[in-house]
Amino acid sequence: MNSNPESTPKPACELRQALPTDAAAIHALMRPFVSQHLLLARSEAEIIELTRHGFVAMQGERCIGFAAVEIYSPKLAELQCLAVHPEAQRLGLGRQLVAQCIDRARSLGVMEVLAISSSEDFLRSCGFDFSLPDQKKALFYQIRERPFDDR
């Protein structure tokens, strides 16, 4: 008998449109990333709103991945809350979630999708870059500290 945990088959993963009823599971997925200051804290109401253009990776009843695209205008959308459970990382789920978000923005006629993240290499591998072909750059002015509380 092989006791190697990597040889144990994992339940299939379903990638689908997020639903408001997924908010608690999404919140549970995000909690460790928020506590490590890798994601901003979100209220349940904010997560519910993000499910409108969000996607989940589900393994049974467990949410193992989430990403959403927030549409600001026909010109601009933002990739939000990209999180993949550590046990499911490096399996392509993050890339699939990003692709779903980009496809949603494209289907809505959005021109550009921005991403603010500490995962620079990953996002660059998904096609994001620091400037657009016509050399636009995003600059930021911080008015107040970011909240890192657990909402």
Residues 76-124: pLDDT tens digits? 999 999 999 999 999 899 999 999 999 999 999 999 999 987 778 888 8
Place 141 in a pLDDT band, splitting at 50, 70 and 90: confident
Task: Round to whole Å and give the CA distance between 102 and 129.
Answer: 14
What pLDDT does 83 receive? 94
Find out whether 78 and 53 touch, Cβ atoms under 8 Å.
Answer: no
Q: What angle do CA 108, 89, 94 make, to 5 degrees?
A: 10
Q: What does the pLDDT average to over 14-33?
A: 95
The percent of residues in the chain predicted with pLDDT above 70, rounded, is 83
In terms of C-beta density within 10 A (0-12 exposed, 13-18 middle, 19 or more buried), how is residue 5 classed?
exposed
Task: Round to whole Å and give the CA distance between 79 and 99.
Answer: 10
Find out whether 91 and 82 touch, Cβ atoms under 8 Å.
Answer: no
In terms of C-beta density within 10 A (0-12 exposed, 13-18 middle, 19 or more buried), how is residue 61 classed?
exposed
Q: What does the pLDDT average to over 32-47?
A: 92
Tokens for 46, please give them. Answer: 């904010």
What pLDDT does 37 receive? 87
In terms of C-beta density within 10 A (0-12 exposed, 13-18 middle, 19 or more buried), how is residue 57 classed?
buried
